[in-house]
Chain A
Amino acid sequence: MDWVIQTHDLRKVYQMGEVEVEALRGVSFNIQRGEVVAIMGPSGSGKSTLMNTLGCLDRPSAGEYVLDGETVANLNDDQLADVRNRKVGFVFQSFNLLSRQTAITNVELPLRYSSNSKYAGNAKGRRARAIEALKAVGLENRMTHRPAELSGGQQQRVAIARAIVNDPAIIMADEPTGNLDSKVGKEIMKLLLDLNKESGTTLIIITHDPTIAEQTQRVIRLRDGLLESGS
């Protein structure tokens, strides 16, 4: 099997003042390359913590995590940043675009931090790749617009273009349709699924919307920091 994500007994403990809170209490699951997976669970189930861990934004307190062949559980901050840059594309509920920058500059941003010699110090190469990504999400006519001049759906498309620009191993989408009306939400879901089909990039969607979960191949359910189903 070609696993893109392998976790074993992931645990995360937060120190909240005097009290220790266990957000993850031993989670183990694998995700195949190219798979579309939804992670669901009520608030407080450890959903966000799991997403942060899988997205390499945070380190687990204990356990194993192998992302695209790299053991990431014990990397330092800068190494984690590099892994995020190369292997993870984020799509956020609130888009998180830089409001002063144009769509194309926003899409270019991950390439600016890239250690890949293809993009480092090569402004033309970055621009060309960003244009490709914007074309892939159907925004080639909006490249020089700023976020304020774009609709919510268009903003999320820019964010998706930014997520795929560096050819990541996984795309982490955190409630990608949460701030959109249902019609636009459907379009965005379709775009994400199409991109998955075309490029084979693993798609992980964190959501509490069952209609979205229905469109995925597998649903991983969390409750109280433990896997309920979907392993």
Chain B
Amino acid sequence: MSIAQAFLEALESISGNKLRSGLTVLGIVIGVAAVIAMLAVGNGAEASITGSISSIGTNLLFVFRGSPESQQEAPDRSSAQNDRPLTLADASALADPFAAPSVAIVAPAIQGNGMITFAGENASTTITGVTPEYFAVRNLELSEGEFINQEHLLGRMSVVVLGPEAADAIMGRHDGIVGESIRIEGQPFRIIGVLEAKGGGAFGSEDNSAYLPFTTAQARLLKRNARDEVDVIFVQATSGETVPQASEEIANILRQRHRTPIGSDDFTVFTQQDFLQTFGAITGVLTIFLGGIAGISLLVGGIGIMNIMLVSVTERTREIGLRKALGARRRDILIQFLTESSLLSLIGGIIGIILGWLISYAVGQIAAANGTDFIPLVTTDAVALATIFSAAVGLFFGIYPANRAASLEPVEALRYE
């Protein structure tokens, strides 16, 4: 008997018992749907996060206080008391084109949280004290007004550049507000610029931020131990390729300036690659976890198929006997039942893929309705994998029942009531 015939007969047999076939494949359907949906959501999240990391700029580096080890063990900066803080002088040393030829722009910053107020409306936002270079380093665009310039910095002027979300929160709009006066932690500031919306980033939304001149922030809002202490130095390398050199140059300069012994740096240089690596490790764990769920659900589904195939073999003992009497060989019966079990499982897999796709589509819609910019991705890889795996599960769990059917003695089977 040819495979095509076996396929047709299997299809007839499955459709002849629709309710039972449907219930049998439910395990596979749910398993595959869950895997497809979770992979789609995972891929979507990965694409969204990778996108937001990339939007930071591929040639961006971050310099934090504290050694890489202390960053991991105790991320809060206060525990790193023995480490020398980063200073404005450090930042200007990094900007030296001879000592650090791979460094293009250096932007020191201090950050904290604060209340902004306008006409009785309050909102909590991130307050960042910056230098004019900051906007270039972070690729920020204005929708109106101007950035903080050298003059504002030197004059410690009470001016602020607002992110659109922060503006919306207290003023209900983010256009035509330049020149208005708002209060930050009770102190009056004049709005000189509003940023273009950039979307949620991996490190808090830049849209919900207020940018002040570094000197103003340092003197009046975000007091630090030393007058020239900074929280983070943003560095832009001359290009994406020179990031590793830039990282090395920064480390050398800071080691000299902080006089630290080799191997016990009191600062950390973080590149975008580091973020991607960290993120890759997280998604790796997630993938293993999802794979585990997939494996368990397919196992359970497969056992369900084996169970119903055993029932089917018993029920159809007479039919098997008849087929053997009419000349079916062992192999013919084997192929018939294996085709049936793998087809059953494959159908479950296909329904599961469709269901999983619908679920991920729904998740995407819900996310969109809640304003999160995130599109689940059903990849062809995932679909191919689910298809092959579900068919393989049916095949594997069909072996035992099919073998049982094929080994029946025709005389016994024909006599079976």
Contact = CB atoms under 8 A, between A and B. Distances in A.
A55 B327 contact: no
A81 B327 contact: yes
A100 interface: yes
Contacts of A101: 12
Nearest to B328: A113
B16 A100 contact: yes
Nearest to B6: A112
Interface of B is mostly: helix
A96 interface: yes
**Chain B: number of interface residues, binned into ranges:** 20 to 34
Contacts of B13: 100
B334 to A, nearest CB: 12
Interface centre among A96, A114, A120 (most CB of B within 10 A): A96
Contact of A110 (B12, B326, B409): B326
Interface string A72-115: 00000110011011100010100010101100000001101110
Interface string B283-303: 000000000000000000000
Contacts of A58: 409-411
A57 interface: yes
Given A58-B411, A98-B322, A100-B12, A110 B327 contact: yes
A44 interface: no
B319 interface: yes
B12 A81 contact: no
Contacts of B409: 58
B2 A121 contact: yes
B330 A109 contact: no
Interface string A156-189: 0000001000100000000000000000000000
B319 A113 contact: no
A66 to B, nearest CB: 19
B106 to A, nearest CB: 77
Nearest to A77: B330
A98 B328 CA distance: 14
B414 to A, nearest CB: 7
B285 to A, nearest CB: 49
Nearest to B406: A77
Given A96-B318, A100-B13, A57 B414 contact: yes
Interface in B15-64: 16
B328 A81 contact: yes
A71 interface: no
Contacts of B173: none
A110 B318 CA distance: 16
B5 interface: yes
Contact of A90 (B16, B325, B332): B325
A52 interface: yes
Interface in A5-59: 52, 55, 57-58
Contact of B324 (A81, A100, A112): A81
B69 to A, nearest CB: 71
Contacts of A114: 327
B325 A84 contact: yes
Contacts of B414: 57, 92, 96
B330 A85 contact: no
A57 B410 contact: yes
Nearest to A79: B329
A112 B333 CA distance: 12
B255 interface: no
Contacts of B198: none
B329 A82 contact: yes
A113 B332 contact: yes
A55 B332 contact: no
A113 B411 contact: no
Contacts of B329: 77-78, 81-82, 113
Contacts of B319: 98
B1 A113 contact: yes
Nearest to B409: A58
A120 B327 CA distance: 13
Contacts of B12: 100-101
A166 B325 CA distance: 13
A101 to B, nearest CB: 8
A102 to B, nearest CB: 11
A109 B411 contact: no
Contacts of B16: 100
Contact of B327 (A84, A96, A121): A84
A110 B325 CA distance: 9
Contacts of A92: 414
Interface of A: 52, 55, 57-58, 77-78, 81-82, 84-86, 90, 92, 96, 98, 100-101, 109-110, 112-114, 120-121, 162, 166
30 contacts: A52-B411, A57-B324, A57-B410, A57-B411, A78-B330, A81-B328, A81-B329, A81-B330, A82-B327, A82-B329, A84-B325, A85-B326, A86-B327, A90-B326, A96-B318, A96-B322, A98-B322, A100-B12, A100-B16, A101-B12, A109-B326, A112-B5, A113-B1, A113-B323, A113-B326, A113-B327, A113-B328, A113-B329, A162-B326, A166-B327
Which 8 A/B pairs are nearest by Cβ-Cβ distance?
A85-B327, A113-B327, A110-B326, A78-B329, A81-B329, A96-B322, A100-B16, A57-B410
Given A58-B411, A82-B329, A96-B414, 5 more contacts: A55-B325, A77-B329, A81-B324, A85-B327, A113-B323
